[in-house]
Amino acid sequence: MTEPTPHADPYALFAAWMAEAEAAEPNDPNAMCLATSTPDGFPSARMVLLKGVDARGFVFFTNHNSRKGGQLFANPRAALNFHWKTLRRVVRVEGDVEEVSAAESDEYYASRPRLSRLGAWASLQSSSLGSRAELEAALAEAEARFPGPDVPRPPHWGGFRVVPRRIEFWRDMPFRLHDRRVFHAQPDGSWTSETLYP
């Protein structure tokens, strides 16, 4: 299994760990806990799915009018936590948040199943819902509005990118003497790293 070393590229290391997780984890190896904060600093966390990662950062998509969307626009900083129980590994990411380009959002949105695309129009995500029937009626309305295969991306739906300042790789070790290596982003685009006590 791939081990973190002082001179590793954290993105290459993450890609290797993700590939191993995809082979070992039975469900959603790309699931991650996204932590944001309310405008008054209260923490807020939920599970989302990683949909892309490269040297620019970690990408996920959501309704911009959702609770997490509002929090990210108010305070564009976030933390991510990947937990691969089968491999006994964790990756923690902390960084700044930016919107992805409209082209990136369009590309991913077009790849989603039709009902998922319609659901993005029907759901007033994080708003109070009177009944399931209300949601189903909104979905039926969206189906009638967009009867063909093309369902345009709603203006309130798109992607965010977490641009890391810090990435930590954690491995479970016997007797809780765990292995922790943390990488720190530098202004010139390079990374430094250090080992932490467990």
Contact, 39 vs 56, CB < 8 A? no
Q: Is 145 considered catalytic here?
A: no
Identify the bridge partners of residue 181 per DSSP, sorted by sequence position. Answer: 169, 195
Distances (CA, A) of 58 to 13, 14, 148, 167: 14, 11, 32, 11
DSSP 8-class letter at 100:
P
Residues 6+ apart with CB under 8 A from 14: 53, 91, 167, 169
Q: Which among 39, 37, 35 has a CA at the least distance from the CA of 47? A: 35
98, two tokens: 């930016």
DSSP 8-class letter at 153:
P
Contact, 72 vs 97, CB < 8 A? yes
Answer left, alpha or beta for residue 29, where phi above 0 means left and psi between -120 and 50 means alpha: alpha
7, two tokens: 């001179």
Amino acid at 91: V
| Active-site option among 56, 112, 132, 176 | 176
Residues belonging to the active site: 176
